[in-house]
Amino acid sequence: MTQLWPAPVAAGAVRATVPVPGSKSITNRALVLAALADGPSTLRAPLRSRDTELMAGALRSLGVAIQDGPDGSWQVTPAALRGPAEVDCGLAGTVMRFVPPIAALASGRITFDGDPHARKRPLGAVLDALRALGADIDGDALPFQVNGAGKLPGGAVTIDASASSQFVSGLLLSAPRFEQGVVVRHAGEPVPSLPHIEMTVSMLRAAGVEVDDQEPDTWRVAPGPIRALDLDVEPDLSNATPFLAAAAATGGAVTVPGWPTRTTQAGDAIRDILAQMGAQVELTGDGLTVTGPAELNAVDLDLHDVGELTPTVAALAALATGRSRLRGVAHLRGHETDRLAALQTELTKLGGAVEQTEDGLVIEPRPLHGGNWHSYADHRMATAGAILGLRVPGVLVEDIATTGKTIPDFPGMWAAMLGGDA
């Protein structure tokens, strides 16, 4: 049986400074670009978590040298990409969607598999797109096989990326190495989490790649070199949100140092969300400080572009003073788990009133009680349980270790924030 973690109850208002490790989204995009660059790259303060170690492992299996620097950096040296190789995706969407285009550029057979939950995640859009661009691929979901020819023609392709922005980002990141580059057109419902594609485009341009995204739902990447990276990785703003939520939930004050004044990270949206819920939010040279209100306001939010924040916001909404509606997140049904069903089930088990809508949740606060909180091998479900546990005695989070997907030691960081031991 998976061990249950007793979520600590806050003794009072949480007051702490919480340094947060580097961004997973930036780290994994940087690893891909560095692996395909013209020379050695340095990534300082990268996130070291399961997802990023899986990405590094995948690239190493293809021949890329990734070594630890004395300052905790990663030193990435490109090499001729080759198989045979086996790629473990774990539960990392970035690995299962960003690495197949790289594997198509390698010589040899590259097999992909991952955790049992990963086999349910949608991959057809990116695999079919690669086939249309000239790749030889066996399978439509994990496990699958890429038969690399050492090059990829590229060209124009139309995909439905309404299930995940990663389908677009995965194609764009490797596109400079395609013989014709790529033109990706999206046809379907609006692409979720557009800030993640904007991050991809920004990082490509910073590496000297020509990208044209002026036409809606169309991205053009020209073939050409990728400049080596010399990069300081920003703190992961989405991973910071549970700690900021702790301040909001308890009327405390939490500061996350190093919060960037300008960023492409979707997690930056938490500032406006917490302000709408009644918190005081201040960004200074010392970082971002959130001071919680006496009572949390109910909210009506469209989270389409920042769906990853939904579990955190849902936990706070269950502690708020009125009925909240979270909209625009139907795509969360295809994440690590069906996050909408999971949130409805787990909040209801603790006494909450939650209704699923076509594209989100309606949450009516009720007196909550303790009980087991199932994480579904989903890191953001696990941290949502921890947030609730600050105010609700007896919450037992199943598989808290799943937070290691993106936060190396969440229980230790949570305990340190509360002034205790893990």
One domain, residues 87 and 205: yes
One domain, residues 45 and 116: yes
Q: Hey, which residues are catalytic here?
A: 308
As a whole number of angstroms, the distance between CA 78 and CA 81 comes to: 8
Produce one character per residue of 317-344: b if its CB has 16 or more CB atoms within 10 Å, e if not.
bbbbeeebbbbbbbbbebbbbbbbebbb
Share of the chain above pLDDT 70, in %: 98
**Mean local confidence (pLDDT), 216-228:** 98
For residue 361, which of 271, 319, 296, 301 has the smallest C-alpha distance? 301
- Looking at the structure of the chain, the number of domains it has is 2
Q: Tokens for 375? A: 């994480």
Residues 45-101 have pLDDT tens digits of 999 999 999 999 999 999 999 999 989 999 999 999 999 999 999 999 999 999 999
Assign 3 a pLDDT band (cuts: 50, 70, 90). confident
**Mean local confidence (pLDDT), 306-321:** 97
Per residue, the 3-state secondary structure of the chain, as one string, reads CCCEEECCCCCCCCEEECCCCECHHHHHHHHHHHHCCCCCEEEECCCCCHHHHHHHHHHHHCCCEEEECCCCCEEEECCCCECCEEEECCCCHHHHHHHHHHHHHCEEEEEEECCHHHHHCCCHHHHHHHHHCCCCEECCCCCEEEEEECCCCCEEEEECCCCCCHHHHHHHHHHHHCCCCEEEEECCCCCCCHHHHHHHHHHHHHCCCCEECCCCCEEEECCCCCCCCEEECCECHHHHHHHHHHHHHHCCEEEECCCCCCCCCHHHHHHHHHHHCCCEEEEECCEEEEECCCCCCCCEEECHHHHHHHHHHHHHHCCCCCCEEEECCHHHHHCCCCHHHHHHHHHHHCCCEEEECCCCEEEECCCCCCEEECCCCCHHHHHHHHHHHCCCCCEEEECHHHHHHCCCCHHHHHHHHHCCCC
**Mean local confidence (pLDDT), 235-251:** 97
Task: Give the pLDDT confidence score for residue 1 in this predicted structure.
Answer: 47
120 is in an annotated binding site: no
177 is in an annotated binding site: no
Q: Which domain holds residue 66?
A: 24-228
In sequence order, the β-bridge partners of residue 302 are 327
Name the pairing type of β-strands 85-88 and 324-327. Answer: unpaired
* Predicted TM-score of the model (pTM): 0.88
Asked whether residue 238 carries a pLDDT value surpassing 90, the answer given is yes
Mean pLDDT of the chain: 95
119 is in an annotated binding site: no
One domain, residues 263 and 321: yes
Higher-pLDDT residue of 121, 350: 350
Task: Give the pLDDT confidence score for residue 336 in this predicted structure.
Answer: 66
Task: Give the pLDDT confidence score for residue 188 in this predicted structure.
Answer: 92
Share of the chain above pLDDT 90, in %: 91
164 is in an annotated binding site: yes
Burial of 43 (0-12, 13-18, 19+ CB in 10 A): buried
One domain, residues 203 and 138: yes
73 is in an annotated binding site: no
220 is in an annotated binding site: no
339 is in an annotated binding site: yes
109 is in an annotated binding site: no
**Mean local confidence (pLDDT), 247-256:** 98
Phi, psi (degrees; rounded to nearest 5) at 211: -130, 130
One domain, residues 15 and 92: no
Task: Give the pLDDT confidence score for residue 246 in this predicted structure.
Answer: 98
As a whole number of angstroms, the distance between CA 93 and CA 377 comes to: 14
One domain, residues 215 and 252: no
375 is in an annotated binding site: no
One domain, residues 62 and 193: yes
One domain, residues 185 and 256: no
Q: Is the peptide bond before 176 cis (omega within 30 degrees of 0)?
A: no
One domain, residues 305 and 189: no
Task: Give the pLDDT confidence score for residue 70 in this predicted structure.
Answer: 87
One domain, residues 8 and 151: no
One domain, residues 87 and 220: yes
Residue with tokens 């007196």: 367
**Mean local confidence (pLDDT), 148-160:** 97
374 is in an annotated binding site: no
Most confident of 122-131, 178-187, 330-339, 404-413: 178-187
Domain endpoint, select from 203, 228, 253: 228
Domain endpoint, select from 228, 252, 270: 228
One domain, residues 384 and 367: yes
Task: Give the pLDDT confidence score for residue 422 in this predicted structure.
Answer: 41
Asked whether residue 421 carries a pLDDT value surpassing 70, the answer given is no
Domain endpoint, select from 207, 228, 249: 228
CATH code of residue 326? 3.65.10.10
**Mean local confidence (pLDDT), 288-292:** 98
